[in-house]
Structures are given as C-alpha cells and as structure tokens.
Chain A
C-alpha cells in the first residue's frame, strides 16, 4: 500500500526565516504534487513534479523531487505571514492514478 509521510506536522516560524518541509513516500512513483489548504477552505494545487530532479519555484516556495530517495522537499525562503496554511504532498501510485496524501504540515508564520 502506498504510504506518504510528511514532517514536521506542525511548524511555527518567524517571518524572514527559512525552513524545509519533507515528504517521503513508500512506492515507485515519479509524480509528486504539493497542495495548500487555508483554514475552512479546500485544497489548491501548488506544484507538480513529474521527474527525478524536478524543481519548481513560485515566489518564496520551492519544491524538488528525488525519485531515487522517494523524497520531495518544500523549501520556504524568507517566510511571510501570508504563507500560513497547511501544506500537503500527494503521490500517484505508479501507473495507477490513485492519489494518496500525506497528513499535512501546518505552518504558522509569526511576526
């Protein structure tokens, strides 16, 4: 069974600081997704990573994928309050299109 693990589950940061969220998964896959969820809202797509070594950046967020290590990272640079949300990674079971999510990282950015 495909398992997706994120850490940390809770992250409190000061504005201006950098940090990395990690996502490990248990089976062969080269498709990794990051989503954002604001309180009381549904999930919105942030990044799609489709190959080993893929890197995507949007503003202060950068996501990367290492399929050999079965690891994706979401790096936050110079955090700002607007980034406060819960971030989920998700993985397609290889050749199965069966999307499984991690438990999420609840990020709080403090002034």
Chain B
C-alpha cells in the first residue's frame, strides 16, 4: 500500500481482556518497529523486526506483550490481560533498507488503546 496501515485506530478494552493490534507496512519494507507512546511522551521502543526475524524485543514491558511477523510483512502486537497502564497509542513504523544509508521510518497513524 501507499503507507503504513494500522488497525484498529481506536480500541477500548476492559481490564483483563486480550487485544491484538495489526500493522500492514509499506510493501517491500524490511524493517518494522513497534513503539508505545503515552500521552505527552515520546515513542518508547517495544520491538524490532527485520523481515520475519524479531531482532530486538527488549522494550516489551512484560510477558503479557507479544509481537509477531510470521511472513515478513504484516505484524501483530498482542497484549494479554490488559491493564490500565497499557493505555497508550501504539505506533508501527517501517523502513526499506537496514544497514546502509538512511533508515527513515514511515509511521502509521497509530492504534489508540484505552483500558478501562
């Protein structure tokens, strides 16, 4: 597609529910990042994929968070047993060419998660 597409744009979950957030990156983009952005804060790194390989998941805040990119394109961020502190905007970004030259990220519009 023309840009990075994220769905749903808005999600309200009751505490304890599981949620799944989807990211469809730009076709051909090798790198895919997930970030968590709390209100008024900068994006906090969650995890990074290069094709289907999850090269860094050090930013995932707990074992309730899980991300996958099984075929090296679409990625899903899953949050189990949601807590109120999980409320944030989850941003997905992709880029074309890692390791050489610029790694300019194209961001999706984000998925705003509110946990009640």
Residues of A within 8 A of B (CB): 6, 31, 33, 35, 41-45, 48, 50, 88, 90, 92, 95-104, 106
Contacts and interface: CB of A to CB of B under 8 A. Distances in A.
12 contacts: A43-B93, A43-B107, A44-B107, A45-B104, A97-B31, A97-B103, A98-B48, A98-B56, A99-B33, A99-B45, A99-B93, A100-B45
Given A45-B104, A50-B101, A97-B31, A104 B42 contact: yes
B103 A101 contact: no
Contacts, number: 61
A31 B42 contact: no
A13 B89 CA distance: 28
Given A42-B91, A43-B43, A88-B43, A99 B110 contact: no
B92 to A, nearest CB: 10
B108 interface: yes
Given A50-B101, A99-B33, A42 B42 contact: no
Interface string B22-34: 0000000001010
| Closest 9 pairs between A and B when the two form their complex, measured CB to CB | A97-B98, A42-B107, A103-B42, A104-B42, A48-B102, A101-B42, A43-B107, A101-B43, A45-B104
Contact of B45 (A31, A44, A101, A106): A101
A12 B46 CA distance: 31
Judged by DSSP, the binding face of A is strand
B33, B106, B107, B109 — which one has the most chain A CB atoms within 10 A of its CB? B107
B105 A99 contact: yes
B65 interface: no
A108 to B, nearest CB: 13
Contact of A31 (B50, B103, B108, B110): B103
Contacts of B43: 43, 88, 101
Contact of A102 (B31, B42, B55, B91): B42
A97 B109 CA distance: 22
